[in-house]
Structure 1
Amino acid sequence: MRRLILCSDDFAFSRAVSATIAGLAQDGKLNAISCMAVMPGWSDDSALLHDLPPHVEIGLHLTLTEERPLTAMPGYAPDGILPTINEVTRRASRGGVPLDEIAREVTAQFDAFIAAMGRPPAFVDGHQHSHVLPGIRGIVLAETARRAPGAWLRDCTDRLSAMLARPFLGKAIGSAYHSRGFRRDAAKLGLATNDSFAGHYDFAHDYAAILPRMLRKPGRRHLVMCHPGAGERTGDTIAAARPREADGLRTTNITDIAAREGLAFPA
């Protein structure tokens, strides 16, 4: 049977976000959690993950934008703050990112994840999908193959017919464009990926109402990203959406809406 992977991004973004995500997973509302091992609270927050149900996959949310890196990156983040995704995308498309600095930072984030969890990540993706960008993707794929060869990676592409059936087509096409060829590149290293992807929206709509539409026309491993949370943190542009998503997940019978699309959840 096809499988729904409902993955919360941004674990360790703040303690309130981490506690909300862990609680949802404990209640059977999530079956994957992607962790920001770059964050100062990561080590403490990771304790919330150790007693979750065994079907909940714990992955690494590589963070190369808008936070403080773990390593010195004078060419990439000269002021000590990682650049915005728009800047990274522009620089990467022109071959203008210092790949040696990025490689050291990616290694450091793998190290931080493994130190806290005692095992490699079950999957790997990137904050704001920076892991698929030119130059950066090769580093991420090679490090995953070396450190977590059994992990799968987030591919943001999908069939056009599937994207047309879901909300926010423009955002989906943008993610797919930057991810083109990623699945092929992963396969060359023996790495798996999801085979369909959804979760795009404007962070303003009623999440419970829009979630079923994200499950339309799934692949065999249908990945849906989400960003539930609570509280506020300076600079968080989606702070208002996080509790709405959390409430939407709590009140939705995810198993039933998944089954209507031929998807198994939570397993």
Structure 2
Amino acid sequence: MFVPVAGRFGEVGMQRVILCADDYGLAPGVGESIRELIGKGRLSATSCMTVCPFWPEEAERLKPLADRADIGLHLTLTDHSPLGAMPGLAPSGRLPPLKALMGRAFAGQLDAREVAGEVERQVAAFTAAFGRPPDYIDGHQHVHQLPTVREAVATALARLPGAYVRLCGEPRRAILRRGVSVPKALLISELGGGLAALARAAGIPANDGFRGVYDFSGSIPFGALMPRFLDPPAARPLVMVHPGIPDDALRRADPVVDQRLVEHEYLRGDAFGTLLTARGLRPARFREFTAPRSALRGT
């Protein structure tokens, strides 16, 4: 059971959690949902897909909320068109599904220069549309953790002073105790070891708890999952969510549609506000947890 700790993060009885919505830019309805939730103080981060055609206009709509949440890059290397030519990975102009990408990554069959070039293009597209570099980098379907990709991500972050990386590691005992999509959560967590090592070696800041993995089936009400995702506490916990308002663009782009609305309605509702109050939690940006990168590097 979660017990608020007086003064642990500088506020009596309060702890902080990064509530991060994925897939901003995927479709207008996703952006509308995320902006509303940031405005209500129910989210403190969102990850943006710069490969999507909606990104430039959705970036403009997000700018007024730029100081209310961390705005990061949701690196995309699956199921969409890359921003530049990738003859090795996307010879037809479309990136492969996740299973194929993973197979090639673990077989050492990804072209490091090609992947690094696409990472750079997606960072540049973020900066061009949003007017500043991303606050962090993560990956659509967690691709930023894969071999070859993770090295490109670490290199990109080294050029972004102050930016952090979203790690997907979570203690095994916490995943087992939570009991939600355990095989999937364990796999995602285990895949992140290499990226975590790179981040430590380079002094790249990162979260140290990752929750929010489930199967999107709705078999367990989302309102019953969120209390599990918020417990136990961690020093810098991050909870991933996928809210959205269904529209035709979303239906064309992604198989997860109706469950996004379920998440949206819960996160904006009174029950979630009551849960946060009962747990002594508030959504917070990463910089509220950690020292500047210069302090981590000892410079």
Normalising by structure 1, we get a TM-score of 0.94
Report 1:1-267 matches (<5 A).
1=9, 2-52=15-65, 54-146=67-159, 148-166=160-178, 167-205=180-218, 206-230=221-245, 231=247, 232-254=250-272, 256-258=274-276, 260-261=278-279, 263-266=281-284
Deviates more, 1:62-71 or 1:234-243: 234-243
CA 247–129 in structure 1, closer or farther in 2 if over 3 Å, else same = same
Using the aligned pairs only, state the percent identity: 40
What SS does structure 1 have at the residue aligned with 2:64?
Answer: coil
Give the C-alpha shift of residue 87 in structure 1.
0.7
Q: Is the 1:255–1:265 Cα contact (8 Å) retained in structure 2?
A: no
Q: Is the 2:42–2:283 Cα contact (8 Å) retained in structure 1?
A: no
- The answer for unaligned runs of 5 or more in structure 1 is none
CA 157–129 in structure 1, closer or farther in 2 if over 3 Å, else same = same
CA distance in 1, matches of 2:226, 2:66: 23
CA distance in 2, matches of 1:159, 1:128: 20
CA distance in 1, matches of 2:217, 2:270: 18
Deviates more, 1:246-255 or 1:88-97: 246-255
Give the C-alpha shift of residue 252 in structure 1.
4.5
Q: Is the 1:227–1:242 Cα contact (8 Å) retained in structure 2?
A: yes
CA distance in 2, matches of 1:187, 1:57: 21
Alpha-carbon displacement from aligned partner over 1:29-58 (angstroms, at most 9, x marks no partner): 111010001111111111121111723111
Q: Which amino acid aligns with 2:137?
A: V
CA distance in 2, matches of 1:40, 1:53: 21
CA 215–249 in structure 1, closer or farther in 2 if over 3 Å, else same = same
Deviates more, 1:42-51 or 1:244-253: 244-253
Alpha-carbon displacement from aligned partner over 1:160-206 (angstroms, at most 9, x marks no partner): 12112222211110101211132221121110111000101111222
Q: Is the 2:115–2:148 Cα contact (8 Å) retained in structure 1?
A: no
CA distance in 1, matches of 2:208, 2:78: 25
CA distance in 2, matches of 1:150, 1:38: 24
CA distance in 2, matches of 1:48, 1:135: 33
What SS does structure 1 have at the residue aligned with 2:256?
Answer: coil
CA 185–255 in structure 1, closer or farther in 2 if over 3 Å, else same = farther
CA 211–252 in structure 1, closer or farther in 2 if over 3 Å, else same = farther
Normalising by structure 2, we get a TM-score of 0.84
Q: Is the 1:218–1:261 Cα contact (8 Å) retained in structure 2?
A: no
Q: Is the 1:229–1:246 Cα contact (8 Å) retained in structure 2?
A: yes
CA 177–44 in structure 1, closer or farther in 2 if over 3 Å, else same = same
Q: Is the 1:7–1:33 Cα contact (8 Å) retained in structure 2?
A: yes
Q: Which amino acid aligns with 2:198?
A: D
CA distance in 2, matches of 1:50, 1:152: 20
Give the C-alpha shift of residue 233 in structure 1.
2.5
User: Size of the alignment, in residue pairs?
Assistant: 266
CA 217–87 in structure 1, closer or farther in 2 if over 3 Å, else same = same
Q: Is the 1:208–1:251 Cα contact (8 Å) retained in structure 2?
A: no
- The answer for unaligned runs of 5 or more in structure 2 is 1-8, 10-14, 286-299
Q: Is the 1:254–1:265 Cα contact (8 Å) retained in structure 2?
A: no
Q: Which amino acid aligns with 1:154?
A: R
CA 257–266 in structure 1, closer or farther in 2 if over 3 Å, else same = farther
What SS does structure 2 have at the residue aligned with 1:192?
Answer: coil
| CA RMSD between the two structures | 1.6
